[in-house]
Amino acid sequence: MAYNKHNAFNDLPDLPPTDFVESPEILRHLAKAARHIGELNGLCASLPDTQLLINTIVLQESKDSSAIENIVTTQDELYKAVSEDGTASLAAKEVLNYREALYVGLEKMQAQKNLLLTNTMVEVVQTIKQNKSGIRTTAGTALKNAINGEVIYTPPCCEDVLREKLAALEQFINDPEMSSLDPLVKMAIIHYQFEAIHPFADGNGRTGRIVNALYLVQQELLLQPVLYLSSYIVKYKTEYYQLLRGVTEKNNWHDWIMYILTALIETAQLTTKKIRSMLLLKEEIEKKMKDVLGVSFSYDLLRLMFALPYLKIELLEKKGIAHRQTASTWLKKLADSDIVRPQKMGRTTYYVNWRLMKLLGED
């Protein structure tokens, strides 16, 4: 039957795409993407304090991936929320849920022999949404243009069909015998397929983008889920939507794959640059702190400044880094030498690692 965007797309073909061959242009992009991802991965592996800077990248990805859904939070608001329990804005909370979902997914995958299964995807969406939502059981889900309400795409229906299609996708993801395509090309087509199945009532975009990161870890292209792809998608969002449609309506895998490979190239480079800049900044701040604090220099404090750039006295106490009096003396000294900048919010004074905040805001 001819494709009709108003009817549930139960004819969505399983992967791999038939008749698809990697063009010379794709192969050139692939080589470049693989090189830059390799460089990023090597850098991550060599970090002296692995989790510290990686967590920051994961948080940035969480922020941008949520922004695609118009959950927009400022960098400041987000980092205040990370430091403080319970006072986060709704948007900041959603970003933190996204980050949690990524780690939940990673743990689950690793606990299940490194297989990326439907049940992991369900757990990811439940963590994003903080509810018990599962595979769609009823008809009526359609993707609509946010401005004029026009239907753009109607995904398959209902639960049985969705489960079948997910099982086929699961097999494609986990069985290397199914296709000899390069894993980066596979990531692109898996992302399309997941979005086209659209198994959940909401959260499909975010879950699908988490699946991308998990897949690269599964394939050992990345040791850590430092895929910062969403910064590119936010920038070229219209193309993201158009190219997904292009696959459905015109079988245009080529342009979709080129888009994802370009995103990988750009964001791997950007991430490498960000991590290098953060490393340099950490060294620079360490030196300054040693000058200012002398023998009382604390590596834990330096670490905390990078994990939670909005510091406050109570936080140092809570983390067991210093008693109130010492914490207060340290932060004042650091503020006097402009290593941190005090910022009053209501009754609380934050001491902001402003150089880190500035760096995170740069492209």
Ligand X SMILES: Nc1ncnc2c1ncn2[C@@H]1O[C@H](COP(=O)(O)OP(=O)(O)OP(=O)(O)O)[C@@H](O)[C@H]1O
Question: Residue type at 271?
Answer: T
Of 156, 183, 199, 203, the one binding ligand X (CB under 6 A) is 203
The tokens of 327 are what? 């914490």
Q: How far is the CB of 114 from ligand X (least distance, A)?
A: 25
Burial string for 296-328 (b: 16+ CB within 10 Å, else e) reads: eebeebbebbbbbbbbbbebbbebebbeeebbe
Q: Does 206 bind ligand X (CB under 6 A)?
A: yes
The contact mask relative to ligand X for 227-246 (x = CB under 6 A, - = no) is --------------x--xx-
Residues 6+ apart with CB under 8 A from 111: none
Of 76, 77, 164, 202, the one binding Mg ion (CB under 5 A) is 202
What is the CB neighbour count within 10 angstroms for residue 180? 8
Per the CB < 8 A criterion, the answer to whether 351 and 312 are in contact is yes
**Beta bridge pairs of residue 310:** 352
Query: Which of Mg ion, ligand X, none binds 68 (CB below 5-8 Å, type-dependent)?
Result: ligand X
Q: Does 214 bind ligand X (CB under 6 A)?
A: no
Query: Which of Mg ion, ligand X, none binds 208 (CB below 5-8 Å, type-dependent)?
Result: ligand X
Q: How far is the CB of 161 from ligand X (least distance, A)?
A: 16
Q: Does 61 bind ligand X (CB under 6 A)?
A: no
Residue with tokens 């879950």: 207
- Residues in contact with Mg ion, counted by CB under 5 A, come to a total of 2
Stretch that binds ligand X, among 163-171, 200-208, 290-298, 302-310 (CB under 6 A): 200-208
Examine residue 157 and say whether the peptide bond preceding it is cis (omega within 30 degrees of 0): no
The DSSP line for 264-325 is: HHHHHHHHHHHHHHHHHHHHHHHHHHHHHHGGG--HHHHHHHHH-SEE-HHHHHHTTS--HH
Query: Which of ligand X, Mg ion, none binds 153 (CB below 5-8 Å, type-dependent)?
Result: ligand X
Residue number, 155 or 225, with CB nearest to ligand X: 155
Q: Does 315 bind ligand X (CB under 6 A)?
A: no
The tokens of 121 are what? 């995807």
Query: Which of Mg ion, ligand X, none binds 199 (CB below 5-8 Å, type-dependent)?
Result: none
Q: By the criterion CB under 6 A, which residues form the site for ligand X?
A: 68-69, 143, 152-153, 195-196, 202-206, 208, 241, 244-245, 248
Q: By the criterion CB under 5 A, which residues form the site for Mg ion?
A: 69, 202
